[in-house]
Amino acid sequence: MVPAHRGRAAEPVYRPILANRRGELEALGHLDDVVIPVLAPVLEVSILDQFTLDMLRRLPGGLLTAVDITGLPDAPETELVRWGVPLVPVVGLAESDRRLVAHGAAARAHAQRAVVRLRVGHDRPGPDAATTAAERVWRLTGLVPEQCDLLLDAGDVCCLADVRVAEPRVRRLLEWARRHAWCSVSVAAGGMPPAVSALPTDEPVRLDRWDWQLWQRLADLGVGYGDYGVGSAVPDADRSGDRLPTVRYTADNAWWVYRWSRRGGRGDDRFADLCRTLVSAPHWPASGAAFSWGDHEILRRARGGAGAGSASNWAAWSTSHHLAHVLATLPHPGRESGAGPWRSGQAPPEWGRPTRAHRNRNGETRRAG
């Protein structure tokens, strides 16, 4: 198996799919060093500008950051290898030949690996067609299955009915995935509603984390976990224009959404009231400000020690807490216990038995007959 990243001590256990916005990138920039080896974010980049490149360059060293550029034009100037930043390409099964070759060059230039993202609701070929598509990816990128992390993206799951529809589809794809020697297999979904502007204000509102519930139903299969952070899986859903101070706070099985519109006094005072309500809630962590950088910033506002900030700040603090909460919940190397389905030290099921796929002396992957 190809090492994940020079200097990394462990394989990632969490792959959040995050929008390439200031708030999400700022949260990644404040990660605790101890969690960097087990976190592998996937950034969806739809606009390539100097701000994006500067923010990517400021991410912590050693963070295995993958970038999905499906939303960018298929042109030479968007090739990841030209960005001058160590990144992992995210590869779709339907990419053009030219882009697959470019992704292969980017993978070999840096991490020696790629993420193959299969969208459950859109990419729905049968097992043989999926294998044909995957083999085309490996051939044109010059990679082998052991250098590829498979990400099964179930997309938007915002209710129990969505979970019940997604689960059998994902299970069928996981059966197919076992035919090949993937480096890892993860399942991601997004449970946050497309917009929160219709929620009540001036009181915390509980929303079920349906993405987490979907993964718990599948975790017996040994898959890694992914989600959309505190954002929605629906494209551009979080650009609704709602400017009320909002914090999306993650708890064990739910989010608590705080939207404050109380009038009177200064705006900083109103946001401080929101934060005071949050830090006195039962879902505020026992470790308080030490739990994450985002929690530290929220507590500062609750004590009146700083201004209200902006929508980007609120997204950053919410994302920071969310990442810390998920990583504290999932079992991973170095943790003595966890709330997830695996006991500490218990290996998940093996992916891609050698009898299913192997490489010949030319490095080509073939299925055993």
The two three-digit tokens of residue 50, written as one number: 């100097």
Burial (CB count <10 Å: 0-12, 13-18, 19+), residue 328: middle
Query: Contact at 8 Å (CB) between 163 and 217?
Result: yes
Q: What is the pLDDT of residue 206?
A: 97
Look up residue 259 and give its two tokens.
Answer: 């939207």
Rounded to whole angstroms, how far apart are CA atoms 109 and 119? 26
pLDDT of residue 243: 77
- What CA–CA distance (Å, rounded) separates 192 from 228? 8
Length of the chain: 369
At 120 the three-state DSSP class reads: coil
pLDDT at 7: 40
What's the confidence (pLDDT) of residue 360?
Answer: 36
Full-model pTM: 0.86
Cα dihedral 46, 119, 26, 327, rounded to 10, equals -170
Radius of gyration from C-alpha coordinates of the chain: 21
Distances (CA, A) of 260 to 191, 246, 273: 22, 7, 9
- Number of other residues whose CB lies within 10 A of the CB of residue 301: 25
Taken in order 21, 27, 33, 34, the sign of the CA dihedral is: negative
Bridge partners, residue 255, by sequence: 207, 250
Distance CA 275, CA 107 (A): 43
Number of Cβ within a 10 Å radius of residue 161: 10
pLDDT of residue 237: 64
DSSP run (H or E) holding 248: strand 246-250
Q: Helix, strand, coil proportions of the chain in percent (round to 5)?
A: 35, 15, 45
Residue 80 DSSP one-character state: G
Per-residue pLDDT, 6: 39
Domains of the chain: 17-199+207-237+325-346 (3.20.20)
pLDDT for residue 166: 95
Query: Cβ of 142: how many Cβ atoms within 10 Å?
Result: 15
- What does each C-alpha distance from 121 to 166, 167, 170, 171, 204 come to in angstroms? 8, 11, 10, 13, 32
Residues of the chain falling short of pLDDT 70: 1-10, 123-125, 236-242, 263-267, 332-369
pLDDT value at position 366? 38
Q: Rounded CA gap, 259 and 159, in Å?
A: 22
